[in-house]
Structure 1
């Protein structure tokens, strides 16, 4: 059985923009009387911008106080600040092991697919100088967010891959659940207990431990 594609999340797998997200959400939330901290920000990993906003509003007891138009404006304000912070990204912010893994996939002509909930993914990959290393960047617009499997299924379909012969790489519980719901082999990056509880087939404490040989062996693919 041949590996047909590897699908990657972005934040926490390719690089870390969680702090940028946190600062941008915090700046948006404070003027409307909501305080968030880093612990709460962990609950926003792997989910869409609007779902993150809904969780923040619920956290502050204000979920019924805004119209959809007002919510969209709040989300847009957050994203504007977040995008301004992305100018700080450079290739040095790519996680260890990722360039080498992408090289290994390219050598074997196995497509690398980006399956991130972030609508800013193309800009982030460009800043990291990885945009040409991915066969496809899946546009998450209009799709249900993780843990729904849609973005992974769309990514596999975009490169003509059978999900059963794909590997997904995620650092968030919702992302791992989405990979498994798509019928793929799930690789978790981070805390073993949490990610295994979400269904991860194998967990690496960091991307530095990732390599194609280990993935193929674990997934029992050639």
Structure 2
């Protein structure tokens, strides 16, 4: 049956509190290969991008370029950090437990990373196979491709989709897809002015808790 209403969740920073750990992984890998200075401040400017675009952006910002044969280290270090320390965002599990509307994941991360993240945090059963990665489309966020792909596969009209995103790039992509975006600011990587940046990209509202997200979705007529 086609989903009449669809909630599209970003993964990193929305479902799982992964962005601080991901930033640590990038810093470790670049340091390992003799490229210092790729810290949280640099990675913060790349949140929401797929890995290939992050590597390009880091080169633009710092002059450091991770070679293709070195890129595999990123997943190995990230996987180990996630296995040891990754947690779901606060309140997401009970929110998903009672959610009746259609839902899926649309993330810039690889499928392997998304599945690992959801498995170690216990969220995987809430989504089954309704998981979409930017590896499935030509362009990553802020292009709308991943959101349009997810809606098509889930049988939903973009006008009936709400995207929950923590990054300006993600919000921009959701709006470009003709969807309503809710900005989520409850992750460990949030910062002063985070919500304002999301609103500047077109977020309908910003929420720091899943209770606030529920209230916004109710206001939009979603079945919760």
1:10 match: secondary structure:
coil
| Alignment match of 2:153 (pick from 150, 158, 162) | 158
Query: Does the CA contact (< 8 Å) of 1:187 and 1:203 recur in 2?
Result: yes
> CA offset at residue 139 of structure 1?
2.9
RMSD: 2.0
> CA offset at residue 99 of structure 1?
1.9
| Aligned match of 1:14 | 15
| Aligned match of 2:49 | 47
Q: Give the number of the structure whose alpha-carbon radius of gyration is greater.
A: 1
- TM-score, length basis structure 1: 0.85
- Tell me how many residue pairs correspond in the alignment: 208
Which runs of no fewer than 5 residues in structure 1 stay unpaired?
A: 64-69
Query: Does the CA contact (< 8 Å) of 1:33 and 1:60 recur in 2?
Result: no
> CA offset at residue 74 of structure 1?
2.3
| Aligned match of 2:190 | none
Query: Does the CA contact (< 8 Å) of 2:5 and 2:222 recur in 1?
Result: no
Query: Does the CA contact (< 8 Å) of 1:95 and 1:207 recur in 2?
Result: no
Mapped partners of 2:210, 2:117: distance in 1? 18
Q: Deviations over 1:84-104 (max 9, x none)?
A: 1121146xx222232232223
| Alignment match of 1:146 (pick from 136, 141, 146) | 141
Query: Does the CA contact (< 8 Å) of 1:89 and 1:128 recur in 2?
Result: no
1:26 and 2:27 are equivalent in the alignment: yes
Mapped partners of 2:64, 2:14: distance in 1? 32
2:183 match: secondary structure:
strand
1:197 and 2:196 are equivalent in the alignment: no
Which runs of no fewer than 5 residues in structure 2 stay unpaired?
A: 186-193
1:117 and 2:141 are equivalent in the alignment: no
- TM-score, length basis structure 2: 0.85
Q: Deviations over 1:104-151 (max 9, x none)?
A: 32xx3x221001111100111011111110150003215211001111
1:206/1:71 CA distance change after superposition, 3 Å: farther
